[in-house]
Amino acid sequence: MPVVVDSDTASEDPAVVYANRVTKTDSAYREGYFEHEGLRLHYVEAGEGDLIILYHGFPSYWLSFLDQMEALKPQYRVVAVDGLGAGLSDKPDTLSAYRVEALAAQLDGLARHLAGDEKFTLIGHDWGGALALTYAEAYPDRLKGVVGMSAPSYNVFLDLLKSSEEQQAASSYMQRIRETPPEAVVEDPPGERLWRMGYGKLVEFGVLSEEEGELFRQALAPAEATNGGFNWYRANMPPPATITEDDYWPDPPARIISPVLLIIGGDDTTFIRAYVDMMEVTADDLTVVILPGIGHWTSMQDPNKSTQAIVDFLAGLKSDE
């Protein structure tokens, strides 16, 4: 059964305490837990209205969406998830729990727990973006719209990885992650290195405050959190030369019938830009917003522009109702 932590009680997550201290609205952030097939997800929510679920990538946790939640919670019920293996969510060792189809089923269970059979909007960044777009393929009747930030769908990525030497080179780090044994992570936790490579630079450039940077550092520090993130790669990233139709999910050809917004950093080199053309073939109704001068962290590097793109997209969904 789901366990809800009331916002008036002591929070388990220092990031929730921080969010409630800096919020500019009267709508408080509150924590909840949802259990699906024996695995527990932690999430943070605020606001009332139509449901929006936000799902982060790696290495990260729910706090990466704080700017978007602040902007959207006056009109929507926003729920940011700690993905499986991250934050205060469970971090199982079994790789099958991290398969994209298992994560999508868990996500669907969370959405039904929160809003029953009502359609909702799904926003994801990085791995969360790939999951969001893949969920839209597999559960076509569940969404009002879907936003993918800095990533294509899982099937499009496999196509890209299989066919493009340029993408194979750009994704070589994923294979290194995939091949890193769990015991190596425990013996030499890389959380601090991951923090310096990403969030340390965001603090240095003034994108994050020192306090926000420290919250991300604490979330990334446990070896279990790194292994949880690595398990997404171990479970879903076959070597390019071995990719077959059995690796795809949902079975190709899969389409996205709900409206799609892609938000892409103009300086992002994680995926080659060819994936936009491939997504145009996959999605029936696609809008693409490119943020000049922004890298991979589209939700944080220029939160105003990325959030405005989301607000405009949501307004379009309302006008179509």
Mean pLDDT of 202-206: 95
Domain locations in the chain?
Answer: 4-319
- Using CB atoms within 10 Å of the CB of residue 320, give its burial: 0 to 12 exposed, 13 to 18 middle, 19+ buried: exposed
Look up residue 188 and give its two tokens.
């030499």
4-319 folds as Rossmann fold (3.40.50)
Looking at residue 85, its pLDDT comes to: 98
Instruction: Mark out the alpha helices in 147-302 (DSSP H runs).
Output: 154-163, 165-170, 172-179, 182-187, 191-195, 201-204, 210-220, 223-236, 274-282, 298-301
What distance in Å separates the CA atoms of residue 54 and residue 64, rounded to the nearest whole number?
A: 10
Mean pLDDT of 191-203: 96
> Tens digits of per-residue pLDDT, 10-25?
568 999 999 999 999 8
Residue 263 reports pLDDT greater than 70: yes
Looking at residue 321, its pLDDT comes to: 66
Place of tokens 């020192």: 210
What distance in Å separates the CA atoms of residue 229 and residue 238, rounded to the nearest whole number?
A: 16
Looking at residue 254, its pLDDT comes to: 86
pTM value is 0.95
